[in-house]
C-alpha cells in the first residue's frame, strides 16, 4: 500500500525521535512491500521562527490532505514570552481542531521488563497496569475564550470551559466502543460535585450507557481518580474524560508505567486520517544530546499503522521488536533501573542506538 505521511519533527528532541521512527517505518515498508512517502510540515517554535506563525494554513492543509500525521513534540523556553495565540502549543491545538481529531487514546500499560522502573511499590505493580485513557481533545477549557482584562485596578484572567451534549456524546461513544473491545469496564471521570459541564458529562454518559448494556459504567471524581491511579491502578480498564482532566491524568498514568518516554498516542476524528504523537514534551534540556527515548514515537508510528492504515501485522512487528530490545537489556537513560544491581544487567544506550536496535529486531520479528 502507498501512504502519504505528514511529518512534524517540531522542537527540542522532536527531530531526533521522529528521525528514528521514520527509519523504522522505512524498514517496515521494505519488509512488507509498502511505500510510505513523507511530507515535512513546520509546526511549533520552528514554524514561529521561520514563518511567524506556529501553524501556517498551508501546513495545516498538508496535514489534512495526508493519510496521517506523525508528530514529535513542540515548544520550549525560547518561545516562553511569545503572546498566547502565537505560542508553539497553540499550533498543536489548531492542528488537533483543524484535523477534527476529537478522540485521544493514551494507553497506560506496564512493560514487564520495566516493572522495576515504576515508582509504585511492587505489590501494586504485580496486580497489573493496563488501561486506556480516552481523552476528549478539541473541546473544553482548551478551546474556550481566553482573556485577561483589567477590573477594579487589577488584572483578571478568564478561561471559559464549555461542553455541548453532542461533543460529550461522540467521545462517550468512543469510550464505550473501546471498553467493549477490552474488559467492558468504563470509568467516566469528571468533577460533577462542582462543575456544570461535568454534571452534563455524567448525564450524557448515563444516557449512552443504555445503548451499551454489556459495558459496566462507573463514575469517578477527578481528584479521587488521581488518587486511585497510584493506589490501585489495576481497577481501571478504560477511562473516558474531558480535555484537561485527560491531559493531567495521562501524565500521571504514564509515570506509573516507568517512563513517560514509552507512551504513544493516537488522535482520531471521523476519518481514518489520524494524528500520532508520543505524550511527552519536547524536553529542550536534553535536545541534541542523543539521550532521548524514541520508543514513544516509534510506538506512535505503530499505532498509525494499526488504526489508520489497517496494518495490524506491521504494527505488531514493531511492538514485538521493542519488547525484544527491552528483553535484551537495552535501555535509554529514562528507563534505566534505579537499583544498582538491576542496572548492571542493562546496557545504557542513546536515542540513535535504540532506534537501530529496534530496526535490527524488526527483521527477526516479522
Q: So which residues are the catalytic ones?
A: 142, 191, 223, 247, 251
Q: Please choose, out of 208-216, 240-248, 293-301, 349-357, the segment that lies near Mg ion by the rule CB under 5 A.
A: 240-248
* Residue closer to ligand IPM, measured from CB, 132 or 311: 132
Least spacing, CB of residue 106 vs ligand IPM, in Å: 8
- Secondary structure E strands in 95-252: 103-109, 130-136, 146-151, 154-159, 185-190, 216-221, 238-241
Please, which residue, 36 or 142, has the CB nearer to ligand IPM?
142
Using the rule CB under 5 A, is 247 a contact of Mg ion? yes
Map the footprint of Mg ion across residues 157-196, applying CB under 5 A. none
For ligand IPM, give the closer residue by CB, 260 or 321.
260
Q: Which residue among 55, 279, 322, 349 contacts ligand IPM (CB under 6 A)?
A: 279
136 touching ligand IPM, by CB under 6 A: no
Q: How far is the CB of 92 from ligand IPM (least distance, A)?
A: 5
The stretch near Mg ion (CB under 5 A) out of 66-74, 152-160, 193-201, 244-252 is: 244-252
Q: Does 205 bind ligand IPM (CB under 6 A)?
A: no
Instruction: Pick one of ligand IPM, Mg ion, none as the site partner of residue 11 (Cβ within 5 to 8 A by kind).
Output: none
Query: What are the phi and psi torsion angles at 103 (to 5°)?
Result: -115, 115
Residue 211 three-state SS? coil
Nearest to 352 by CA among 323, 330, 335, 329: 330
313 SS3 class:
helix
End-to-end CA distance of the chain: 17
Residue whose entry in the numeric block shows the C-alpha cell 534505566: 336
Q: What is the DSSP string of 256-291?
A: HTS-GGG---EEE-SSS-EEE--SS---GGGTTTT-
Residues whose CB is less than 8 angstroms from the CB of residue 310 and which lie 6 or more positions away in sequence, other chains included: none
**Smallest distance, Mg ion to C-beta of residue 280, A:** 8
The whole-angstrom separation of Cα 42 and Cα 228 is: 39
Which DSSP symbol is given to 193?
A: T
Binding residues for ligand IPM, rule CB under 6 A, total 5
Residue of the chain from 13, 41, 92, 263 that contacts ligand IPM (CB under 6 A): 92
Q: Helix 196-209 to helix 165-180 angle, to the nearest 10 degrees?
A: 50
> For binding to Mg ion (CB under 5 A), which residues are involved?
247
Residues lying near ligand IPM in the complex (CB under 6 A) are found at 75, 89, 92, 247, 279
Amino acid at each position: 500500500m502507498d501512504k502519504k505521511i505528514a511529518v512534524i519533527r517540531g522542537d527540542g528532541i522532536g527531530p531526533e525521535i521522529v528521525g528514528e521512527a521514520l527509519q523504522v517505518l522505512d524498514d517496515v515498508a521494505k519488509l512488507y512491500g509498502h511505500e510510505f512517502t513523507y511530507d515535512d510540515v513546520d509546526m511549533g517554535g520552528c514554524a514561529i521562527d521561520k514563518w511567524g506563525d506556529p501553524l501556517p494554513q498551508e501546513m495545516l492543509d498538508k496535514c489534512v490532505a495526508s493519510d496521517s500525521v506523525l508528530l514529535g513534540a513542540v515548544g520550549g523556553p525560547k518561545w516562553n514570552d511569545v503572546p498566547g495565540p502565537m505560542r508553539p502549543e497553540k499550533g498543536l491545538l489548531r492542528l488537533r481542531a483543524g484535523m477534527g481529531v476529537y478522540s485521544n487514546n493514551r494507553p497506560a500499560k506496564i512493560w514487564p521488563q520495566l516493572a522495576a522502573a515504576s515508582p509504585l511499590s511492587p505489590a501494586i505493580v504485580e496486580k497489573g497496569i493496563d488501561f486506556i485513557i480516552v481523552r476528549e481533545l478539541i473541546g473544553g477549557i482548551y478551546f474556550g475564550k481566553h482573556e485577561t482584562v483589567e477590573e477594579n485596578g487589577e488584572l483578571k484572567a478568564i478561561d471559559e470551559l464549555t461542553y455541548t451534549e453532542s461533543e460529550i456524546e461522540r467521545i462517550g461513544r468512543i469510550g464505550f466502543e473501546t471498553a467493549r473491545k477490552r474488559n467492558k469496564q468504563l470509568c467516566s471521570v469528571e468533577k460533577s460535585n462542582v462543575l456544570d459541564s461535568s454534571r452534563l458529562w455524567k448525564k450524557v454518559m448515563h444516557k449512552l450507557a443504555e445503548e451499551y448494556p454489556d459495558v459496566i459504567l462507573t463514575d469517578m471524581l477527578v481528584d479521587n481518580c488521581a488518587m486511585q491511579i497510584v493506589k490501585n491502578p489495576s481497577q481501571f480498564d478504560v477511562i473516558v474524560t474531558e480535555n484537561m482532566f485527560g491531559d493531567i491524568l495521562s501524565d500521571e498514568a504514564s509515570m506509573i508505567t516507568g517512563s513517560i518516554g514509552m507512551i504513544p498516542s493516537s488522535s482520531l476524528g471521523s476519518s481514518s486520517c489520524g494524528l500520532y504523537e508520543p505524550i511527552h514534551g519536547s524536553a529542550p534540556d536534553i535536545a541534541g544530546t542523543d539521550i532521548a527515548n524514541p520508543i514513544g514515537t516509534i510506538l506512535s508510528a505503530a499505532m498509525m499503522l494499526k488504526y489508520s492504515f489497517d496494518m495490524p501485522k506491521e504494527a505488531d512487528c514493531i511492538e514485538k521488536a521493542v519488547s525484544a530490545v527491552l528483553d535484551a537489556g537495552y535501555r535509554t537513560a529514562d528507563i534505566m533501573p534505579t537499583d544498582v544491581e538491576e542496572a548492571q544487567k542493562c546496557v545504557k544506550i542513546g536515542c540513535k542506538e535504540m532506534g537501530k536496535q529496534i530496526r535490527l529486531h524488526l527483521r527477526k520479528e516479522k
